[in-house]
Amino acid sequence: MDKSPIHPSQDSGGQRKTTIRDYYLFAIKIIGDFGVAIAAPVVLMVMLGQYLGDLYGHKVLFTVLAFLIAALASAKIIHKKAKNYGKEYQNLVDNDK
């Protein structure tokens, strides 16, 4: 069996060991997930702020308020995801041993 780091290998217990590829895929997953978690609320809330600003005549006020709400929501989402990804990373490290 090929024991190179880019191919999955089995330990003596038959459990799949973590490979370098697993770490790279995990990193890409985090980057994509965090990107969406930051961008989606900001874009949607700023669009809502622009709409409300046009409707009520206070475009800057509504846009800034919407951005602040989106930033707080994104921070909360990222914090929650980071805790979950920390646990998932620890599982990768534990399987590597």
Contacts for 63-68: CB closer than 8 Å, 24+ residues apart: 67/42
**Contact call for residues 70 and 41 (beta carbons, < 8 A):** yes
Looking at residue 10, its pLDDT comes to 52
pTM over 0.75: no
Average pLDDT value over all residues in the chain: 87
Looking at residue 17, its pLDDT comes to 84
Range of weakest confidence among 15-19, 33-37, 82-86: 15-19
Confidence category of residue 14, pLDDT binned at 50, 70, 90? low
Looking at residue 95, its pLDDT comes to 85
**Contact call for residues 78 and 37 (beta carbons, < 8 A):** yes
Residue 7 has pLDDT above 80, yes or no: no
